[in-house]
Structure 1
Amino acid sequence: MEHISTTPFGRRPVSAGHLAAQAMLEAPIPEVVPDKWTIIKELTAARMAFGVSDRDLAVLHALVSFHPHDSLADGEGTIVFPSNAVLSERAHGMAESTLRRHLAALVKAQLIIRHDSPNGKRYAARGMDGGIDRAFGFDLRPLLVRLPEIAQAASEARAAALRLKRLREAVVLRLRDAAKLIEFGQEETAANWDEAEDRLRLIQRTLRRKLYADELSELNRESEALLGDVNTLLSANKTENMNGNAVLNERHLQYSNLQQIDSEPSLEKEEAAPVEPTPDPKAKPKLPLYLVLKACPDLMDYVPSGISSWAELVAAASFVRPMLGISEDAWQRAQSAMGADAAAITMVGILQRASEIRSPGGYLRALTNKAEDGAFSPGPMIMALLSTENERAN
């Protein structure tokens, strides 16, 4: 009478897990089964849920390659029977002692089942018709039985990985904004930025490590709090500046009497107001791009697809230039004097206050004259616009 042994060969004892795995030999398999490599791909994504490593899966990949069909449900059975030597070759030369350890891990995870022969060897016995009558080796049937479980775990693992990626992206973006705002604040205000800078460096160091979801969530909260404090400190010092420091003079020139601006000559007369020169008007703006866009929301009416880089801001400024009645010559001269990015910031700032400026072309030329003398930076312009937007929001 034919008997299939359910106990392991040699000194390996019977365990509760071993007996539980035997039940999968009679369990049904799904009606629709993907090809074997799709199953391995799904299991790779879900490996943490099954407690197996990438090396364990490399051995499983080698085992599955001995099944002669694309689907494990096809053919004469799900048992493969390579010797350790042949399996080692298929596993890129893995040492047999290492191979045995990974096979034991796969058995323990109930992803494969051992079918040991009387002498412990792996082989297949053929019947009178030449087909495989009995096989001793590793049964891959658990991969089919547990297919719904594998697919569910893979989906959850991918969703968790995506959440982790989005969390890290949020932290990185907030840290980038905080770093640039701190740099801007150090140059434009008299506030003490040491504490904010220390917090920034600490979060940046922590982010270099591999972090789990809970740790990243905490880091996300810390970075959000840091950015909020930086914005608060920047706003507080901006208010102080508006009460009397040297930067106020340039803001006053730009915004206090805009209704009186008629032409270039009238603007030139107002240039006598004292200003605090910036060392290099063509230097890259210290302002984060998102802050410029926040201060100048009217620009989005002309660029509905959004702006994600300085190059796109320059292109948008070039697009709105003729709508403001500014000549190509004035625009080119502004770029030459300020640099393309700063000129674009100035242009979108003028667009935001277009209803108050009677001669945008003359206004831009006046600011260009100041930039050529090293006496203009678009930073105070944006901060004043941002203050106005915040007041409207409140």
Structure 2
Amino acid sequence: MVFQKAVHPAATRAYRDPEYRHPALPGNMQRDNFAIIVERVSPRLGVGLAAAHAFVRLAAMTRPSDWTSQVRTPFIYAEAGEVAKMLGLSQPRTRAITAELERAGLIERRTAANGSRSRAAGTGLYFGAAIARVDELMALDDQLTEERQRAIFLRGQRSTAKRYLKHTLERLSEISPYCSEAAAIRQAAAAWPSADRLHRMDLATLAAHVDEADQLCRAGLDLLEKREKTSGGPLENERPYIQDTTKESSVSCNEPVDMQSAGKPAQDKIHVMPPDGGPNCNEKNVDAASGAFKSEFIARLGPQRLFNLASPEMQLYLCGRAEPEYLRFYDFVWAAERRVPELGISPDAWNTAREVMGEDSAMLSILILDARKSEPGNIIFKPGGYLRAMTDRYRRGELHLIRSLIGLSERQRAGHG
């Protein structure tokens, strides 16, 4: 006995319901935009790539106005053989694809008793089933977009762990070349999936791997700290703090916030100045420190001091790693990478900041942005645009991160006073 897959209800009942007799696309959505959405979500509907592409091509054979009409439904009345020719497929393959689309609830096939199609008889391939599901398909598309963004951030976090672990193992090789524990960590890292495999992982598997990579990196850093201690080498957390310059004269510059910017995309032109103030701000003249800081220099700020300057949300992440005085710079990068999507900053804005500024300055930029986002009178409506503005200022040599950290410290002190 041969069992056939059930046809999606939208292709049989919902479309024929009088309420959905002629469903129309909402708002300004047009045929081609909708077809692209269908193609993107097709894997979640059980539709293969070939069938999804065929849907786009079939939709293009209909009148665009029918997709937004309240009195007509888009359809194709050409014979199956003609449709196969237009798709460049064999008739059996075309029949299989249209059957696949019908099972997924994206089209409805109406044929006469002899299998023929005609405009007069009202037979052919109808797209009302898909249009009736527009809200569902748009919600699914939004969900997939969020998942893609999440996957991009997760892959970036794995890249960070891999990079730090590589440098850690290199340092271990220098001071303890025959360390068996380092060899075990190196062997475990060698078994990590390739970057290509990461793209094929589902979110749960990818997140689990990223956690494992983070734990292995921390194990490597723990081992390095132990070996450096026994060999007399410098420990990151024992480096002296940068000289406290908060007692020097400084001016706080907070330019007015554009209250009309809420809700606009993060890539729009920003109206909130980066934390070093506006073009006429005297705070820029407090010191001449460059924004191009080396990792060793930034480490001198000290973990406790950086922790105290971070936002409560970032501090919550950091507390799960270690006591503030034992935090490593890697922990701050790790926490910043998790705050980035929560702040609504796109992967592109974050990656651009890292490429332009380097990971150290990009991390400090997130820490500063995050800490300032809820300051009274300094509401940041568009964190993504704010970060892009900071990146542009860095390119021009106008971003002074250390001075911004000093400003944060002073404002915190004044607030607690």
What TM-score, normalized by structure 2, do the two folds share? Answer: 0.52
Asked whether the 8 Å contact 1:62–1:87 carries over to 2, the reply is no
In structure 2, relative to structure 1, the CA distance for the partners of 1:77 and 1:19 (3 Å cut) is closer
CA positional deviation for 1:231: 0.7
In structure 2, relative to structure 1, the CA distance for the partners of 1:182 and 1:103 (3 Å cut) is same
Residues 307-366 of structure 1, C-alpha deviations (whole Å, 9 max, x = no match):
8469969x9xxxxxxxxxxxxxxxxxxxxxxxxxxxxxxxxxxxx9xxxxxxxxxxxxxx
Q: Secondary structure in 1 aligned to 2:64?
A: coil
In structure 2, relative to structure 1, the CA distance for the partners of 1:290 and 1:200 (3 Å cut) is farther
CA positional deviation for 1:95: 2.0
Residues 37-90 of structure 1, C-alpha deviations (whole Å, 9 max, x = no match):
111111122213321112111221222122122451337432211223332233
In structure 1, distance between residues paired with 2:11 and 2:92: 26
In structure 1, distance between residues paired with 2:229 and 2:206: 34
In structure 2, distance between residues paired with 1:148 and 1:307: 36
Asked whether the 8 Å contact 2:175–2:227 carries over to 1, the reply is no
Q: Secondary structure in 1 aligned to 2:81?
A: helix
Asked whether the 8 Å contact 1:175–1:204 carries over to 2, the reply is no
**1:25 paired residue number:** 16
Q: Does 1:198 align with 2:187?
A: yes
Q: Does 1:292 align with 2:296?
A: yes
CA positional deviation for 1:291: 5.1
In structure 1, distance between residues paired with 2:33 and 2:83: 21
Gaps of 5+ in 2: 241-292, 307-349, 362-401, 403-417
**2:76 paired residue number:** 80
Write the letter of the residue equivalent to 1:83: E
**2:173 paired residue number:** 186
In structure 2, relative to structure 1, the CA distance for the partners of 1:17 and 1:218 (3 Å cut) is closer
Write the letter of the residue equivalent to 2:230: E
Write the letter of the residue equivalent to 1:43: V
CA positional deviation for 1:204: 4.1
In structure 2, distance between residues paired with 1:189 and 1:307: 35
**2:214 paired residue number:** 224
In structure 2, distance between residues paired with 1:83 and 1:55: 20
Write the letter of the residue equivalent to 2:226: A
Gaps of 5+ in 1: 1-11, 126-133, 249-253, 256-288, 316-351, 353-394
In structure 2, relative to structure 1, the CA distance for the partners of 1:223 and 1:84 (3 Å cut) is same
Aligned residues: CA RMSD: 3.8
Asked whether the 8 Å contact 2:111–2:124 carries over to 1, the reply is yes
Q: Does 1:166 align with 2:168?
A: no
For residues 269-284 of structure 1, the aligned pairs below 5 Å read none
**1:116 paired residue number:** 111
> Aligned to 2:92, which of 86, 94, 97?
97
In structure 2, relative to structure 1, the CA distance for the partners of 1:21 and 1:221 (3 Å cut) is same
In structure 1, distance between residues paired with 2:10 and 2:194: 49
> Aligned to 2:226, which of 230, 236, 249?
236
Q: Secondary structure in 1 aligned to 2:122?
A: strand
Residues 171-213 of structure 1, C-alpha deviations (whole Å, 9 max, x = no match):
1221121012101221234544201100110114597362111
Q: Secondary structure in 2 aligned to 1:111?
A: coil
Residues 117-171 of structure 1, C-alpha deviations (whole Å, 9 max, x = no match):
232111222xxxxxxxx42101111122111011011111111121122112111
Write the letter of the residue equivalent to 2:228: K
In structure 2, relative to structure 1, the CA distance for the partners of 1:294 and 1:186 (3 Å cut) is farther
**1:38 paired residue number:** 33
In structure 2, distance between residues paired with 1:19 and 1:227: 50
For residues 250-269 of structure 1, the aligned pairs below 5 Å read none
In structure 2, relative to structure 1, the CA distance for the partners of 1:207 and 1:291 (3 Å cut) is farther
What TM-score, normalized by structure 1, do the two folds share? Answer: 0.55
In structure 2, relative to structure 1, the CA distance for the partners of 1:61 and 1:176 (3 Å cut) is same
CA positional deviation for 1:16: 7.0
Identity %: 13
In structure 2, relative to structure 1, the CA distance for the partners of 1:88 and 1:296 (3 Å cut) is farther
In structure 1, distance between residues paired with 2:299 and 2:156: 24
Write the letter of the residue equivalent to 1:197: R
CA positional deviation for 1:230: 0.8
In structure 1, distance between residues paired with 2:190 and 2:5: 55
In structure 1, distance between residues paired with 2:201 and 2:16: 40
In structure 2, distance between residues paired with 1:14 and 1:211: 28
In structure 2, distance between residues paired with 1:85 and 1:144: 25
In structure 2, distance between residues paired with 1:22 and 1:135: 17
